[in-house]
Amino acid sequence: MIGGDRRIKMRFVAGHPQCVPLIAEADGAVVGTGVATLNGPVAWIGTIWVDPGWRRRGLGRALTEATMAAGEAAGCRTFVLVATRVGQPLYERLGFELQTWYHIKEAPGLAADTATQDERPVTAPVRPFRAADLPAMAALDRAATGEDRRHLLEAFVAPDTALCLDRPDGSLGGFVIRAPWGGGATIAPDLADAMAVLRARRLAAGPDKRVRVGLLAENEAGRERLRSEGWSDVWQGPRMILGPMPDWSPSAIWGQFDHAVG
């Protein structure tokens, strides 16, 4: 049985042209799934799931190879995934190497009248998305990720799902876009700008909810800053790669739509 959030995600990937969902079927029942998301030169491999009764039969490998073949057919030359402890040996046998680690952190939302923990002034205003922001968002996102995720930005962005940060010179300093199933891409190259975006996320969530971020190991300054402000560690996961290393800026990445989407 697919849960609510997962059902929303699978419905999205089933209908999105840059996603390739695959299933393994036996006797009319789904016994395995896989998804390839095509982000320009990079394909994300994810949602590799095998029914417990069908494990240790090579089905996970077959699904992974099928998603990679879909990426290759679309012209992708780099494959990225976030492995589980169980799955990592399989991906290593397929040629994937450990690239870095995601560090997932969590903090409570904030009440509207909460004073900042950092008393320095916020560097720039954070506001709802406007249609004219999309080109700058896509450019900032590509510089951060090394991927072409404009198709995802266009799919999810709206004034009620996205916040943008304006820098003093009028340029875009960062943004966050929420996905329908709860994930969210957060991009901000500058630490102070990132903290302003994260504070806006916490204010939007309110004190009854919690906010998560996903930083990469290379973002040591960001991880230390969040630790000093009371963010707690939730999970760590290995990011694995096969193929050419993308030209990216990992310290600008503060969250993903999903570890099967990018």
- The parent domain of residue 225 ranges over 102-255
Of the candidates 177, 154, 179, 182, which has an alpha carbon nearest to the alpha carbon of residue 254?
A: 177
Question: What percent of the chain clears pLDDT 70, i.e. is strictly above it?
Answer: 94
Same domain, 120 and 210: yes
pLDDT of residue 184: 85
Same domain, 95 and 126: no
Q: Domain with 28 in it: what CATH number?
A: 3.40.630.30
Amino acid (one-letter) located at 27: D
Last residue of a domain, one of 69, 100, 131: 100
Asked whether the beta carbons of 149 and 175 are under 8 A apart, the reply is no
Classify residue 59: in a domain, yes or no.
yes
Classify residue 121: in a domain, yes or no.
yes
Asked whether the beta carbons of 152 and 260 are under 8 A apart, the reply is no
| pLDDT tens digit sequence for 217-258 | 999 999 999 999 999 999 999 999 999 999 999 999 999 998
| pLDDT tens digit sequence for 119-154 | 444 446 899 999 999 999 999 999 999 999 999 999
Whether pLDDT at 4 is above 80: no
Same domain, 131 and 248: yes
Number of domains in the chain: 2
Residue-averaged pLDDT of the chain: 92
